Amino acid sequence: MVSDQDRDPVELFREWLARAHETEPNDPTAMTLATVGASGAPTARMVLLKEVDDRGFVFYSNAESRKGVEIAQNAGVSLVFHWKSLRRQVRIDGVAERVSDDIADAYFASRARGSQIGAWASEQSRPLGGRFELEKRVARFAAKFGIGAVPRPPFWVGYRVIPNVIEFWTDKPFRLHERISYERDSEASVDGWSVTRLFP
């Protein structure tokens, strides 16, 4: 039997995520995204994972939002998944880069129309005078696009986090948790990753 320590970490993540889809009551793809601003202080918020493959972990956002501005200044980011139902956690350190326009266009086209309109209407992270201001903007863009297709806003983009470190954490009795850290290493034996067990 192959142990987790001998597995490709992206394959192992996919298995854990599939299990989370079966057990988590809400948003199994929710992940904390931590970025670093110009001051050097970290900022964290929840976003949703939309795709994972051998290249990395993809999410979408407004490039003019606080997270988008911070990624433009410093592409180094961290992600954390915490699945309470499984008593498991995955932490990822990596570099965020934009996905291609074609990929972003295709995903935007798959979204619900209300979400497409909302992407145009929301000046994400900037001050809002009141809820009515947002509702007026939604109505304005809904009227602008009528019943036709809603194009992707130029500021609405996808980011792929290319992992350098992926750490798997499993809850164990008496806080003697299991931690396995994979670090990218082209000369390592596990598909380009070196593997280390960590004290809890």
SS3 15: helix
Q: Which of 7, 175, 179, 184 is catalytic?
A: 175
Give, in order, the Cα–Cα distances in Å from 190 to each of 4, 35, 135, 165, 199. 11, 29, 52, 13, 21
- Describe the chain by its helix, strand, coil percentages, rounded to 5: 30, 35, 30
Give, in order, the Cα–Cα distances in Å from 35 to each of 67, 167, 183. 7, 18, 20
* Tokens standing for residue 163: 């992992």
Residue 125 backbone dihedrals phi, psi, to 5 degrees: 80, -5
> Is-catalytic flag, 7?
no
Beta carbons within 8 Å of 184's beta carbon, 6+ residues apart? 163, 164, 165, 192, 193, 194
Q: Which residues are catalytic?
A: 175
